[in-house]
Structure 1
Amino acid sequence: MTEKKKILIRIGSLRHGGAEKVLINFLKNLPQDKYEVDLLINLYTGMYIQEVPSWVKLHYLIKGEMITTNKPHEIPVKAFRVLYQKMLLMFPSLLYKFILKDKKYDVEIAAIHGMYRELLSSPQKDSKKIIWIQNDIFNLKEYTPDVIRQFFKFDKILVISNKLKEEMQKLAGSEKEKQAVIKIFNPIDKQDTLQKANVEIEDYPFSNDLPTFVTIGTVYPQKGYDRLLDVHKKLMDEGLKHQIIIIGDGYDLENIQAKLNQLGVQETVKMLGFRSNPYPYLKKSDFYVMSSRHEGFPTIIAEALILNKPVVSTDVSGIKDLLQNGKLGLITPNSEDGIYEGMKTFLTNKELSAQYEKEIANTDLPFVLEKSVAHLQEIIDQA
């Protein structure tokens, strides 16, 4: 019997994010007879912790909830966490000795781009290193070309869109570095999405039959909910009646709520906060709208397609791959005008959504679980 490959995977936490969900989907479908997996999270928190398969060994640096505010009593805790993590980054041998118990790994994986320093500081120089870039790092100001060049110290760089692959390869210094960049679809569990969407909900916010757009995601400025509200107001003022559901929480929640009140659209836009199962709301709505300024691989778009929903989205990273260059949904310029034109198109052209639904139903979607997991395994096995 061949010996199991020993893998260390690192991620910040297991909160409700796309990268976290993708990692859990991946772990749940890895054959346990082939791999021995240790998962190290910086902060032991998040809804996905209970979904980690029992055979995966879970390690953590700190236990406790994520702190997203700067309340006076939270500052010392926050400072301690930062210093503790910095110390382990500076003296990684302590981490590998005391937390990981001197275990030797064949492959070490950063499941999110933000963990690149941690992986590159690993004292295990012989292990193969893989980084999984889950966001459009070219749109994040702290990722300068010099920082991104560091990623080429990894043996393999997994990216989730063709756009990211092209941008990374432009920075490559050699053919070998170019070859290290691999485009991979994030694994989406189709059955799980369909099953969760069938759950009965009591609190769907609208009972009329006006066209309803839904959008789901952490309430951060990058999601462009401010633009979405302005577009909604403009369309309503033009007599194009519709309504919007926003599902998610985040540090920008109060600003968006204030803007919603200021525009006086409380009756037609409902912010529901975080929902651990947003799929029934998605299923009951007519369209999915994405107003993001930038994204990595918008997992939620894949799930909207699984539920056969017409999509209108700004042209962010990953979207052309997901919507197959506009065959499966509307891709608009990444601007307020773009969002306006896209939503207006759906509201004025009733046949279009039926056309998209038909296209989606007849398409063999490339991001389904089995294909993506098989591709990932192949990369790990070759490492």
Structure 2
Amino acid sequence: MAEKKKILIRIGSLRHGGAEKVLVTFLKNLPPGKFEIDLLLNLYSGKYLLEVPSWVNILYLNKGEMITTNRLQDLPTKAFRVLFQKFLKRFPGLLYQFILKGKKYDVEFAAIHGMRDEILNSLQKSSKKIVWIHNDLKKTEFHNYTDEEFRKFFGFDKILVISDQIKRDFENLAQNKFEQNKIVRIYNPLDTEEILKKANDETLDCFVPRNDDGVPIFMSVGTVFPQKGFDRLLKVHKRLLDEGFPHHIQIIGDGYDFENIKKLQHDLGVTETSTLFGFTNNPYPIIKDADFYILSSRYEGFPTVLFEAITLKKKIIATDVSGVKEMLEDGKLGLVVENSEDGIYEGMKKALENPKNFKIFDERLKSYEMPFELENSVQSIVKIIDEL
């Protein structure tokens, strides 16, 4: 019997983000015993820790909750973590000797683009190296990703990308066929059966059945930081209320910008008409209960949450960010709006003025089938690892 491949996977933490959820879904659906996996976290923290299969060996550089504020009492711990991680990045020999105990790996896997240098600077030159790109690095928010920085990703043996747009960006910088063959489009593993099952579980502490007041509910899910555009969503909410369009906004998620969004909610005077749920392990009953799912993001890679909304047959309004037209089939499955505050405003106003405009999406979603299966996505990645 062939010896199991030894794999090192690196990611920052297992907080409630899309890349983290995708990684854990992948691990949960691997055949136990197929590989010998060490999962190395910069910070042993996050809601998805409990979902990692028991056969995966979890290692970490630091332990404790993520510090998202600059409170005086937290600064020493925050500074130590940053310095310690930078030290090990600068001197990887110490990481491989003392934390990884000198173990030899067949494959080293950067589960997010931010782990690029850590994996490429590995002392184990014979290991095959994979990176999983979840974001559109061409967006201005990633201004440090010049063409030269992009080119560094070709140091990997395989570059997994989650949308056709990101694939094209890499292909345009590939200098030969050999580099082009490194780029692989992979659908994010998504467990639709689990989503449908969880959507019917209304025992959550945060779940409150809707009032029968006929007021439309727009809801959104995401880590609360500027990328997700929740500030834009609340400003549009206020604007539409002032114009006489009653509706509710619901936002599920937590993150370092949560207190700023909470303050904005208060400053706009919309605490009665908008709800910030914070994080929940199961957002699906709340999504199911809403009338519309709204994606207000400034940028994305391939917003998996839209496939979750599609699974639950929700009417969708989404800003035109990477992956959206691909997922919504150029507007056949949902309304794609300009990536701006005005775009979000026009989309929501259209829904509130004439909800019948969205009936066509209801009809199309009834017969829509996902372009992939969970098992196929997982097997595609397994095949890549097996063939390295």
Segments ≥4 residues shifted beyond 6 Å:
none
Write the distance in 2 (CA, Å) between the matches of 1:285 and 1:144.
Answer: 40
Counterpart mapping for 1:157-168 below 5 A: 157-168=159-170
Match for residue 297 of structure 2 among 272, 292, 296: 292
Partner of 1:119: 119
- Equivalent residues in 2 for 1:1-383 (5 A)? 1-139=1-139, 140-200=142-202, 201=204, 203-204=207-208, 206-207=210-211, 208-383=213-388
> CA–CA distance in 1 between the matches of 2:372 and 2:338?
24
User: What whole-Å deviation, never above 9, does each CA across 1:43-72 have from its counterpart, x for those lacking one?
Assistant: 111111111111111111111111111112
Q: Structure 2 CA distance, aligned partners of 1:205 and 1:192? A: 21
1: CA distance between counterparts of 2:384 and 2:366?
A: 30
Give the partner amino acid of 2:44: Y
State the distance in 2 between where 1:371 and 1:319 align: 21
**Counterpart amino acid of residue 209 in structure 1:** G
Matched position secondary structure for 2:330:
helix
User: Mean Cα displacement is larger for which, 255-264 or 2-11?
Assistant: 255-264
> Greater CA deviation, 277-286 or 362-371?
362-371
Percent of paired sites with the same residue: 57
Distance 1:328 1:278, change over 3 A: same
Greater shift in the superposed pair: 359-368 or 185-194:
359-368
List runs of 5+ in structure 2 lacking aligned partners: none
Query: Which SS does the other structure have where 2:59 is aligned?
Result: strand
Aligned residues of 1:108 and 1:127 also touching (Cα < 8 A)? yes
**Shift of residue 159, structure 1, vs aligned partner:** 0.9
1:205 CA displacement: 7.4
Kindly provide the amino acid, as one letter, of the partner of residue 147 in structure 2.
P
Partners of 2:109 and 2:364 in 1: CA distance: 36
SS in structure 1 of the partner of residue 181 of structure 2 = helix
User: Is contact 1:213–1:288 with CA below 8 Å preserved after alignment?
Assistant: yes
Q: What secondary structure, in the 3-state scheme, does the structure 2 residue paired with 1:67 have?
A: coil
Name the CA shift for 1:75/1:249 in 2 (closer, same or farther; >3 Å).
same
Pair 378,90 (structure 1): closer, same or farther in 2 beyond 3 Å: same
Which stretch shows the higher mean deviation, 107-116 or 344-353?
Answer: 344-353
Provide the secondary structure at the position in 2 that maps to 1:59: strand
User: What is the aligned-residue RMSD (CA, Å)?
Assistant: 1.7
Distance 1:29 1:129 in 2: 21
Please, which moves more after superposition, 248-257 or 208-217? 248-257
Contact 2:209 2:289 in 1 (8 A): no
Give per-residue Cα distances to partners, 1:4-39, cap 9 Å, x unaligned: 222111111111111111001101111224211111
* Post-superposition offset of 1:230: 2.2
TM-score normalised per structure 1: 0.95
Report the CA distance between 1:125 and its aligned residue.
0.6
Preserved CA contact (<8 Å) 1:186 1:367: no
Could you tell me how far 1:271 is from its partner in structure 2? 1.6
SS in 2 for 1:213: strand
CA contact (8 A) 1:205 1:270 kept: no
**Structure 1: unaligned runs, 5 residues or longer:** none
> 1:194 is paired with a residue of what secondary structure?
helix
Cα deviations across residues 300-346 of structure 1 (Å, max 9, x unaligned)? 11111111111110011111222122121111111112111211222
Amino acid at match of 1:278: P
